[in-house]
Structure formats: structure tokens, C-alpha cells
Structure 1
Amino acid sequence: MSLLDSAFDNMFAPKEQRSQSVLSGLGSFLSFGGGTASTGIKVKESLKLSAVYNAVEQISNDLAKTPFGLYQDIDGNKERLRSHSADILISSEPNYLMTPYNFKKLIGTSLPLRGNCLFKTILDNSGYPVSAEYIPWDNVFDVKLIKGELYYYVNGMADPLMSSEVLHFKQFSLNGLVGIPTITFAAMQLNLALKTQEFATMNLDNKGVRQGVISTEKVIKDKSGIIQGWRTAMAEKSADRVVVLDEGMEFNPITITPQELQIIEQQKFSIEDVARWFNIAPHKIKSLQQSTNNNIEQQSLDHVSDTIQPLVTNVEQELTKKLLTRKERSTCYFKGNMNVLLRADIKSRGEYYSKMVTSGVYNRQEVRRKEEENNGPEFLNEHLTPVNTYTEKQLENNLKMPK
């Protein structure tokens, strides 16, 4: 039974059967090692398409440069818990081989291409997480749900890992337990795009000369010499190769031309289709045919809210669920600061800060900290209040003040 079949079966199985359901067949899923989808396309092959490579690169880069931190909320006052081991793990040293950037980029790369990204959490003697050891998804040969507990069977490990022992990031899922790669659903169209690219490359290599028929009005008794001579001449890779046909022979191609296939238009379509599959704005993968300065700005905002924010939320919640105790989760949570994704526009950022300061949401000291500037004078800690937005109490106090 394939993983997709078992996922559907598990969704509609009676409640008493679900606890014993087994998700197997993981080996049929895609992996960096070259797993194939039903169409025969491989992950490595799909990355030969520049649009696919760039889509994965853009999404993973945006996640990688989003800083995460552990915060505690007590009566509305939020404090960064920088000394907590879980905060150190995610923001300083996930493991001895990776930086936080590498850690998050690996998640952003694995999810669209493999549907899952798995880390084994290493705890200290007190039970606090101190490291996250990466486990390639192709090493996971089975996942079983037994009596309400999810077990991961990994090559090279004698005992399976429990769900509480791992950080398991997953994307689109039919059962909520195992993710499915975007490549799996897009395989058929991506395979067509690859075939189109290969066809264009083959025609370029052959200088536009394709399969065909050599015809003549004369009767040719020995055809092998003509065929071999044609193959020999066409096998040359030089730009000035010449084929001479005598005896009134003519070459008639039997395959359609790149112009008839409209290769360029097909490749443009494949770029738009890749953008749809990966839920990314076309201009993010360098397709600017229908972009203007006005709509690119809006598309960039949509990219943050529609593409990156769900991924950031996915990571936040998995970290909160697996790296914190039940008691800690009542007041503590992980948060990804997505403001860094909008920092490129200095003018818009300045206008935003100005509105936040003048409306009293931020004080000027907080703005300096957000821009990673040193603290200024003490008076910058005071919140400003517009004179035309006094509260009733402030107005009453002003009226009572002696003149």
C-alpha cells in the first residue's frame, strides 16, 4: 500500500482502526537522492528547470533570513528569553555543523522538494533541548501510528524514534502526519517542461536538423552506404559540418519544428505554472512579462503574507510544541520576525515607523532597537501622543491645571 493510499484510508477509517493504522511505502516518495514520482521525474531532474530551482531558492532564503526567538508573554508584556536553551538552539547553534541560517534554509528547501524535514532533538541531563540532529528523509523507511503514538523508523537506528523526540516539519498533507512534496503533484507538468527543454537542447545541438527521410526518383539498390554516410556526417559536432546529397536526393524532415511547437511560449507557460505550484509570485522567479512597478510592490507583500507567513507559522508551532514543556507553552512561544522581509524599502519603513511613533504604538527607543542601533538618551523611552488625540482623562487633567 502506498503512502497516499494509506493516507486516504486513515482519513476515512473507523475511529477504532485509526490508532492501529500504518503509514508505509515512504520509499516511493521523492527525495534528494533521486526518488521518482509516477511520471518518472526526479527531484534532481526538476531542479534543472531554472524556474523550479529559483522558486525553491527564493522560498528557502526568505525563511532562512527570518530570525526566530523564544518569547514569554506575562500580562501583555513580552520578553525575549535569550538564556533559554531552546532560544539558543534556534537562534545561535542548532547543532555543531549548522548555523541558524543553514538550519532554516534546509527546512525551506526540504519541504517543497520532499514534503518533510526531520531533526532528532538532543536533550541535556535536565531534559532541555540543546541540539537538533538532521535526519535525511530518504533514511526514513517507515512511519507508523500505533496506539496514538507516531514512530519513525530510520535506517541505522535500532529503535524507532517517537514523535516527541523529533522536530518534524511537514507541508501539504492528506493525514496530518506525513507531508507530500509539491513535486509529486507537479510532476506531470514539470516532466513536460523538462521534455520541452530537452527538445530545444537537442535541436540546438543538431543545428535544427532533425529526423527525416531521404528521397529520390531513382532506384537505390544499396541503401546502407547512404544511411551510414548521413549518420557519420550528422554525428560531427563542428559548426561547419556539411552533408552532400547526390543522385537528386532530397532530405524531408518528419518531425515538427521548434517554431511549430512554439518552444519559447511553452517555456513561458511552464514558468507561470511553476509559480502556481510553489505559490510564489512570478516576478520572484524572474518572470516580469506582466509586472509593473506598482503591482510588483503589491506582489511582494502578497509573497510575504501568502507564501512565507504560512511556512513561518508552521515552523513556529512545531518548535513551540516540541521544544517547550506543557507548562512553558502556557506563557512562552516561538516567533519569527517577518519585518526583516520588508526592510528593503527604506522609504516605506521610515513612514511606518513614523506612524507608529506619532500614534504612540512605539517609542523612539524601540525603533532604534528594531534597527539594531544603540540606545539613545533616556527621554526617547517616552511615548509620544498626538495633541489632537488626547483621551478624556488627559483633557480633564489639562483643564484642571492652573494657568
Structure 2
Amino acid sequence: MSILDSAFSSMFNKSEQRVNSSIFEGFGSLISFSNVHTPSKMKVRNALKISAVYNAVEQISNDLAKTPFGVYRDVNGSKERLRSHPADRLISLEPNYLMTPFVYKKLIGNSLLLRGNCLFKIYNDNRGFAASCEYIPWDDVVDVKMIKGELYYYIKGMKLPLMSNEVLHFKQFSLNGIVGISTITFAAMQLDMTLKSQEFSASNLENKGVRQGVIETDKIIKEKGGIIQGWRNAMAEKSADRIAVLDDGFKFKPITITPQELQIIEQQRFSVEDIARWFNIAPHKIKSLVQSTNNNIEQQSLDHVTDTIQPIVTNVEQEFGKKLFTTKEKENTYVRGNLNVLLRADVKSRGEFYSKMVNIGALNRNEVRELEDLNKGPVLLDEYLTPVNTYTESQLNKNLKE
């Protein structure tokens, strides 16, 4: 039975009810704990040596960090920003004394992509509201257990485990909804092959194309060690114009790169495409412009926001909403990430969009100013415009009566 088969069978075996047992029993090897090796022993620091992986993580985490989050309340169908709420301060102003909001959100993105999980311990103020949070490296998580219906996190260096309501636990792809699994875990074989092709190319570059070979001669050689060592000494020189002289009829015949080896080197270009698939990111975002043109790159950027960033933002929004509000607040209070920051197009496109939205009455002119980070204008700009040719029947009757 494969690792994945074992994981799924242990998760969905309803006849066995686990009590006081580890969440990872049956598929612990899929979880990127510090004491558990992924297939091919792929480690995070090795994966980040691949430029496409590093750039994919950097791009996605930066986009998450740029997205502003805030606490809102639904008041009769209208949303109201609650800047005075402790959760709003934690999310958008000061998560803790060590981090800015940008660093805080970027850390969430990095940990999700590289570890599959991101954990923060919540500290409450004297009123019971979440006031700050402390980052806990996922490698420090020793175990996660379900005990009598409550989830407990066992952390290295902590005497007592943390309960689920004491932590913010963001998770990526999950097989049980409780802990996530890193992309690197599943992509280990692909990433390992990419690293080896990089090492192969570097080795050829370092040797300047001179690799293994044989020295030929028609004579019978009794002492071979001296000849081999002499060749090695000559080729070990760091000089750019190193020269080796063979006399007495000796000839060096290099073992050249085979077509298969050349394909390994060329494979590095195709691995970028595979890495883009693993991290669900548009290839042009990790600087691969092979299939990008001026006509489709804007659409690809929109797809990047909706397909790559929005699911992560929604994941973060819901974890904040679940852990940072009281039961009563959850009825009409929520966290929202503003993706409009990532969707801002060029000035011309924005102008056309705002013009259409104002003309159909979807936005008023002061709302447009707010979206552009401008101060509000006169009260007159709060009024919504309606085109004359789109008046409703009631509006027409009212105008006729007047």
C-alpha cells in the first residue's frame, strides 16, 4: 500500500474511532514536520535553491502581504469598518511588537507554501479580545492530538499544549481538514530532479566541458598511477589557460556528453512550467514569458488574482473570523481582504471602469475618490447618478408629476 493509500484509508475508516491519539497516525510521513522526511528527503532550504520555487513563493507571499485586511460589521445591508476593534488592530496595524502587518502576512504566505501550515499563538487583553499573536515555527510543533473532541497542539519547549482556540492555524492543502501538507512534499520528486539537473550543469561549467575520459596508447603501461596523477594535477590548475602536454604517443579521449545528458540540461527550462503548476501560479509571474504576449498577459494577471491569491485570502479571512470574534460578534462581524489593490490596472483602464460604474449608479464620485486614496469631495459627490435613458417606471412617473 502506498503512503497516500495509507493516508486515505486511515482518514476515512469510520469503524475505528480514535480517542486521545495523534492526528498524524497513519500518514505522518506526508506532514512536513522537522522529524519527518518528505520523499527523496527534499528539504525546504534545498527547494529554495531552485529559482522558480523561490520566485513563486516570493510572488504569492508578496501579493498576500500587499492585500489590506480589515474588520467590518454588517449594518442593515451596509458594511461599516470597525477600526477600534482589537482584531482590526492586530490584523492591519500591529500583530506584535516585532512585526509590521506586511511582514506578518508575508510570513503566513511563506509558511503556508513551504510548510503547508502556519501557526500563531494568540494573546488576549484583559477584556478577553485577541490583542497580539506570536509566531510558532511549524518545525516546533511536536504533535497535534484530538482529546475528547478538543484539538491540542504540542509545541517544543512548552510544558502544556495549546488548545485550538488559543492559536491561529492557517493550513494549505489538507487530507483531514486539521493539518495541511506542503506543496514541496508532493513535488519532492520533481524538485529533486530539477536540483540534480542544476548540479549536473554546474559541474560541466566548472570543468569547462572537460569531464571523464581515457588516455590511450599503443604501449603496455606497467605504472599507471603516475600518468593518472599527472593528468589530474595539470587539469586541477585554476588558470584559465591551463595546458596539459601528453608525450610518448599518449592521447586523451574525453567521454562526451550524450544526447540524454543534453536533454537533462534542457529539462531545466521545462521544469519552470511544472513548478508553476505545483504552486498554481501563472508562468509569467515567475519570469517565464514563453507563452505570454501583450494581448494575454493582462488576462493572466487577473487569473493569478482569482485562481491563486483569492483562495489564500479567503482562507486567511475565515481563520481570522473564526478565532478573533466572540460568538455574538460572528453574527454580523467579519474580516475582509481588499483584492482591489491587486486588480488595479493602468490609469486608462481604471478611468474607463470608474466612468462606467458611476454612470450606472453602482458607485458615487466620492466612493471613486476613496478607492483612489483621495479625500472626500463636496457632499454633492455623494449622490448617485442615473442615466436618463435608464430611468425606471417609478422615476419617470415621479418626474412627470413634478
Interval containing the TM-score (normalised by the shorter chain): over 0.9
2:181 is aligned to: 180
Q: Does structure 1 conserve the Cα–Cα contact (< 8 Å) formed by 2:201 and 2:265?
A: no
Q: Does structure 2 conserve the Cα–Cα contact (< 8 Å) formed by 1:34 and 1:43?
A: no
Q: Aligned equivalents of 2:67 and 2:368: distance in 1?
A: 18
2:108 is aligned to: 107
Q: Aligned equivalents of 1:317 and 1:207: distance in 2?
A: 55
Map of 1:3-402 to 2, 5 A cutoff?
7-14=7-14, 17-24=17-24, 29-30=31-32, 36-254=37-255, 256-257=257-258, 260-263=261-264, 265-401=266-402
SS of the aligned residue for 2:174 comes to coil
String of CA shifts for 1:350-377, please: whole Å, max 9, x gaps.
Answer: 2211111111111101111111101111
String of CA shifts for 1:231-256, please: whole Å, max 9, x gaps.
Answer: 11222222111122223222233363
Q: Aligned equivalents of 2:110 and 2:317: distance in 1?
A: 17
Q: 1:34 to 1:16 in 2, by over 3 A?
A: closer
Q: Aligned equivalents of 2:163 and 2:15: distance in 1?
A: 22
Q: Aligned equivalents of 2:266 and 2:115: distance in 1?
A: 29
Shift of 1:149: 1.3
Q: Aligned equivalents of 1:53 and 1:84: distance in 2?
A: 36
Q: Aligned equivalents of 1:27 and 1:263: distance in 2?
A: 29
Q: 1:210 to 1:63 in 2, by over 3 A?
A: same
| Amino acid in structure 2 at the alignment position of 1:356 | M
Q: Which moved more, 1:387-396 or 1:346-355?
A: 346-355
String of CA shifts for 1:206-237, please: whole Å, max 9, x gaps.
Answer: 01111122222111110000111111122222
Shift of 1:19: 4.8
Q: 1:340 to 1:50 in 2, by over 3 A?
A: same
Shift of 1:29: 4.4
Q: Which moved more, 1:346-355 or 1:9-18?
A: 9-18
| Amino acid in structure 1 at the alignment position of 2:69 | F
Q: Aligned equivalents of 1:223 and 1:190: distance in 2?
A: 41
Shift of 1:27: 8.6
Shift of 1:264: 5.1
SS of the aligned residue for 2:40 comes to coil
SS of the aligned residue for 2:295 comes to helix
Q: Which moved more, 1:389-398 or 1:141-150?
A: 141-150
SS of the aligned residue for 1:150 comes to strand
Instruction: Tell me which stretches of 4 or more aligned residues in structure 1 moved more than 3 Å.
Output: 2-7, 18-21, 24-31, 33-36, 257-260
Q: Does structure 1 conserve the Cα–Cα contact (< 8 Å) formed by 2:96 and 2:133?
A: yes
Q: How many residues align?
A: 399
Shift of 1:28: 7.7
TM-score, normalised relative to structure 1: 0.94
Shift of 1:10: 4.2
- Structure 1 gaps of 5+ residues are none
Shift of 1:102: 0.4
Q: Aligned equivalents of 1:388 and 1:287: distance in 2?
A: 48
Q: Does structure 2 conserve the Cα–Cα contact (< 8 Å) formed by 1:27 and 1:141?
A: no
SS of the aligned residue for 1:374 comes to coil
Q: Does structure 2 conserve the Cα–Cα contact (< 8 Å) formed by 1:35 and 1:43?
A: no
Q: Which moved more, 1:346-355 or 1:303-312?
A: 346-355
Q: 1:244 to 1:213 in 2, by over 3 A?
A: same
Q: Does structure 1 conserve the Cα–Cα contact (< 8 Å) formed by 2:198 and 2:265?
A: no
What RMSD in Å do the two structures reach over aligned CA positions?
Answer: 2.1
SS of the aligned residue for 1:98 comes to coil
Q: Aligned equivalents of 2:242 and 2:348: distance in 1?
A: 58
Q: 1:285 to 1:258 in 2, by over 3 A?
A: farther
Q: 1:140 to 1:251 in 2, by over 3 A?
A: same
Q: Does structure 2 conserve the Cα–Cα contact (< 8 Å) formed by 1:167 and 1:318?
A: yes
SS of the aligned residue for 1:44 comes to helix
Q: Which moved more, 1:40-49 or 1:92-101?
A: 40-49
Q: 1:263 to 1:347 in 2, by over 3 A?
A: farther
Q: Which moved more, 1:339-348 or 1:114-123?
A: 339-348
Shift of 1:95: 0.5
Identity among equivalent pairs (%): 70
| Amino acid in structure 2 at the alignment position of 1:305 | T
Q: Does structure 1 conserve the Cα–Cα contact (< 8 Å) formed by 2:29 and 2:38?
A: no
Q: Aligned equivalents of 1:4 and 1:156: distance in 2?
A: 31
| Amino acid in structure 1 at the alignment position of 2:268 | Q
Q: Aligned equivalents of 2:149 and 2:5: distance in 1?
A: 20
TM-score, normalised relative to structure 2: 0.94
Q: Does structure 1 conserve the Cα–Cα contact (< 8 Å) formed by 2:30 and 2:181?
A: no
